[in-house]
Amino acid sequence: MNTIRLLKFCRITSKITAQSLATFIILTLIFACLSVAPAMAASRLFEGLSNTQLVALQAIPENINTRISNSFVTEAVNKVGLAVVRIDTERLITRPTSHFFEDPFFDRFFDENLRIQPPSQELLKGQGSGFIVDPKGIILTNAHVVNEADKVTVTLNDGRKFIGEVKGTDEVTDLAVVKVDTKSENLPVAILGDSDLVQVGDWAIAVGNPLGFNNTVTLGIISTLKRPSSAVGIPDKRLDFIQTDAAINPGNSGGPLLNYKGEVIGINTAIRADAMGIGFAIPINKAKEIKNILARGEQVPHPFIGIQMITLTPEIAKQNNSDPNSVLDLPEVAGVLVTKILSGTPAEKSGMRIGDVILEINNQLVVSAEQLQRKVENSSVGEKLLFKVLRKKSEKELFVVSGQMNY
């Protein structure tokens, strides 16, 4: 019995030894091939392997000393980071002297020199962001960052400071151009993308100096597109914003919003104080249209007709007409209801009236106030526009010559 067991043990041992020897020989041949011709050996090595085996091979960790694993965010920020700047502003406010002590009644109580008070002054400081779009020192930012500033200081990513000159501002689009004197030195510039190609769900990377923390990066997605400024709560602007959930805070204003490739697709400009995680950016294509005009110090043309308006739908009209306190009987149609005519404007000169419902502009239907605003904005100052309006129950045609909006 012991002899039989011994023979079985020897057979098993010989099989294991043979298998181990075969495995050793195969591995030796593989490494020999790799040392002679790595590319060819690797190609042949993977032939015939199953998907499971390939996945197992891919899961083997790389040498930590040779691994390079930058994320797309890192790569995007590295492309534009040196072109992002910090903008600090100063503005001196002079407050008038109080006339309270000028009353002769106080002569008996106060010395004359004590009653004469010099005007008080207060230095207001602000801070925002911007980015370089021309190597000669042209910087894009928000108008509200530099408006009425007495002094503008631009700090580059490397810490160097320059005094900035505000070349032009446009309050309607909240855009501004600042110039710094680089002494013939070329500065790094940000790559401008195409905001018309942006889609909801795309990555969004905000870069700037929020709350005084320099070179801050936040990540999110594009939440929606063409959000009207009126819906955002900024009725005095003419913009369709890019909405994002990338964190934007005070100080981010004027900084770039990037896509995953590191291209600027927007300029961070606004947040909703009553909503966490919602920010808005000006599409970069709007900035492309007017940045050269601002850099030349010229006024940006903004055609306007001079009305206040709301979108009218059959449902809104029906609800209004059923109200016994309503002052207007509205036609139950889709269009734009004129609620006010501003004095001395093209609309007043054309004969437009409160209560008119605008149905068409230049033979094109309009069904919302935002659509009408875009059509007027896309016209030229001094262009004659044909409006079809419904006044009570009669349709009328009015010619309105658009004017330049002053602000």
Residues 359 and 334 in one domain: yes
Residues 258 and 214 in one domain: yes
Task: With respect to residue 72, please indicate whether it lies within any of the assigned structural domains.
Answer: no
Task: With respect to residue 37, please indicate whether it lies within any of the assigned structural domains.
Answer: yes
Model confidence at 175, in pLDDT bands (50, 70, 90)? very high
Task: With respect to residue 65, please indicate whether it lies within any of the assigned structural domains.
Answer: no
pLDDT of 63 above 70 = no
Residues 324 and 384 in one domain: yes
Given 278, 295, 312, the domain boundary residue is 295
pTM exceeds 0.75 for this model: no
Catalytic residue among 88, 170, 174, 356, which? 174
Q: Domain of 139: which CATH number?
A: 2.40.10.10
- Across the range 227-235, mean pLDDT stands at 76
Domain extent for 39: 16-58
Domain count, the chain: 4
- Across the range 116-129, mean pLDDT stands at 80
Catalytic residue among 195, 253, 350, 402, which? 253
Task: Using a pLDDT cut of 90, give the percent of the chain over it.
Answer: 59
Model confidence at 266, in pLDDT bands (50, 70, 90)? very high
Task: With respect to residue 64, please indicate whether it lies within any of the assigned structural domains.
Answer: no
The answer to whether 180 and 307 have CB atoms below 8 angstroms apart is: no
Predicted local distance difference test score (pLDDT) of residue 100:
54
Task: With respect to residue 117, please indicate whether it lies within any of the assigned structural domains.
Answer: yes
Is 144 among the catalytic positions?
yes
Residues 111 and 135 in one domain: yes
pLDDT tens digits for range 305-352? 999 999 999 999 999 999 999 888 899 999 999 999 999 999 999 999
Task: With respect to residue 6, please indicate whether it lies within any of the assigned structural domains.
Answer: no
Model confidence at 109, in pLDDT bands (50, 70, 90)? low
- Across the range 138-154, mean pLDDT stands at 95
Residues 267 and 318 in one domain: no
Task: With respect to residue 269, please indicate whether it lies within any of the assigned structural domains.
Answer: yes
Model confidence at 405, in pLDDT bands (50, 70, 90)? confident
Catalytic residue among 129, 144, 223, 302, which? 144
Judged by average pLDDT, the poorest of 15-24, 287-296, 358-367, 393-402 is 15-24
pLDDT tens digits for range 237-247? 778 899 999 98
Residues 39 and 84 in one domain: no
Predicted local distance difference test score (pLDDT) of residue 112:
58
Given 250, 275, 295, the domain boundary residue is 295
Task: With respect to residue 69, please indicate whether it lies within any of the assigned structural domains.
Answer: no
Task: Using a pLDDT cut of 70, give the percent of the chain over it.
Answer: 75
